[in-house]
């Protein structure tokens, strides 16, 4: 029989308060299911699991019950062969059988521990990873460009659930590489946006564009909710489509495939044009903190000032605070 102590969520050094360890502040439902998920993963990987790290909305304070995913990064000591991959797939399915509310709401990256602990450079080849994510089966392959963003979030904000402390297990990522990754992702996003037919997909496009615009213009990463708040405040012209996207994400309208109203369709296209105009200045090469930056969407008052797809004012200079500052702080 399992030792129930093995199913308890561990303490984490980042939750130190007053010189003593305090429990990690997590959403109730996440806290309830994490011990079982950790148990399933450990039952397969054993000592090969160097560390397991929680990040994303569950630790940022923007977790939406019944909607948000559980985002995890697993550092693995060596490659995962076919037998291990099959066992991990079965472990995920056992977890879902016990916690059906989280079906299609796990986003787990399994990456080589050695590649995570090294400083990342522009010439590094992407590591091979295994991943399970919403809407996709468990699969393996070279990491997509966007994995750099997840890695940086884990480095700055991740919580250690098991194994080596995240600060030593996951090295940082230069801001220039992050911007380049965001730029390439958002240019691809615009290409695929025309094929999106349901409201859940439209919400994803809008909120991902907001995150990209925030990162490209301020060098900060944030949750979808925080990025939407910041972009909404800074570029009022996009408020209707941002508000609609947040409503779609949280409602049962995600599968609605009726055509978008023309006003929202125009705003969605304008938002993508605006962020892609900024992205085109970064997509070709990594850009350092001191580089000349492209113009960004003009700050608007909402009263008919310069349109977002024709920027006339440069955005504020990048955030030059300590590189150890959490991007979402």
Percent of the chain topping pLDDT 70: 76
> pLDDT tens, 230-263?
999 999 999 999 999 999 887 756 678 888 899 9
Which structure tokens are listed for 316? Answer: 């504020």
Give Cα separations from 76 to 17, 42, 80, 88, 95 (angstroms). Answer: 30, 11, 8, 12, 20
pTM of the predicted protein model: 0.69
Which structure tokens are listed for 281? Answer: 């200045």
Using a 10 angstrom Cβ sphere, with 0-12 exposed, 13-18 middle and 19 or more buried, the burial of residue 306 is middle
- At 230 the pLDDT is 94
Instruction: Give the residue ranges of DSSP H helices in the chain.
Output: 28-45, 57-60, 82-98, 113-117, 147-157, 166-169, 175-193, 199-218, 224-234, 239-250, 262-279
> pLDDT tens, 54-83?
999 999 888 988 888 999 999 999 889 999
- At 329 the pLDDT is 32
> pLDDT tens, 118-162?
877 655 677 888 999 987 889 999 887 678 888 989 998 999 999
For residue 67, what are the contacts with CB-CB under 8 A and spacing of at least 6?
Answer: 249, 250
> pLDDT tens, 283-329?
754 434 333 333 345 434 333 333 333 333 333 333 333 332 333 33
> pLDDT tens, 205-229?
999 999 999 989 988 888 888 899 9
Domains and CATH numbers, the chain: 10-169 (3.30.460), 175-329 (no CATH)
- At 188 the pLDDT is 87
Furthest C-alpha separation in the chain:
68
- At 138 the pLDDT is 93
Q: Is the pLDDT of residue 200 over 80?
A: yes
Averaged confidence pLDDT in the chain? 79
- At 254 the pLDDT is 63
């Amino acid at each position: 029989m399992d030792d129930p102590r093995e199913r308890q969520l561990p303490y984490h050094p980042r939750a130190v308060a007053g010189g003593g360890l305090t429990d990690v502040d997590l959403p109730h439902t996440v806290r309830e299911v994490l011990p079982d998920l950790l148990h399933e993963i450990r039952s397969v990987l054993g000592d090969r699991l160097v560390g397991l790290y929680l990040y994303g909305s569950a630790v940022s304070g923007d977790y939406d019950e019944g909607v948000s995913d559980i985002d995890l990064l697993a550092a693995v000591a060596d490659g995962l062969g076919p037998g291990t991959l099959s066992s991990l797939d079965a472990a995920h399915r056992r977890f879902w059988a016990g916690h059906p509310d989280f079906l299609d709401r796990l986003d787990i990256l399994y990456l080589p521990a050695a590649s995570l602990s090294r400083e990342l450079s522009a010439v590094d080849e992407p590591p091979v990873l295994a991943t399970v994510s919403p809407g996709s089966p468990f699969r393996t392959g070279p990491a997509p460009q966007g994995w750099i963003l997840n890695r940086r979030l884990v480095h700055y904000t991740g919580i250690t659930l098991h194994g080596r402390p995240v600060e030593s297990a996951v090295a940082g990522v230069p801001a220039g590489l992050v911007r380049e990754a965001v730029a390439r992702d958002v240019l691809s996003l615009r290409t695929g946006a025309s094929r999106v037919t349901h409201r859940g997909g439209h919400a994803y496009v809008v909120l991902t564009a907001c995150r990209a615009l925030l990162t490209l213009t301020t060098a900060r990463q944030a949750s979808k909710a925080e990025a939407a708040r910041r972009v909404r405040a800074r570029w009022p012209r996009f408020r209707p489509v941002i508000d609609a996207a947040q409503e779609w994400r949280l409602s049962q309208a995600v599968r609605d495939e009726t055509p978008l109203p023309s006003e929202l369709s125009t705003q969605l296209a304008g938002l993508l044009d605006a962020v892609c105009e900024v992205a085109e200045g970064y997509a070709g090469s990594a850009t350092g903190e001191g580089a000349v930056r492209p113009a960004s969407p003009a700050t608007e008052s909402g009263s008919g000032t310069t349109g977002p797809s024709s920027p006339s004012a440069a955005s504020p200079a990048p955030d030059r605070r300590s590189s150890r500052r959490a991007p979402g702080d």
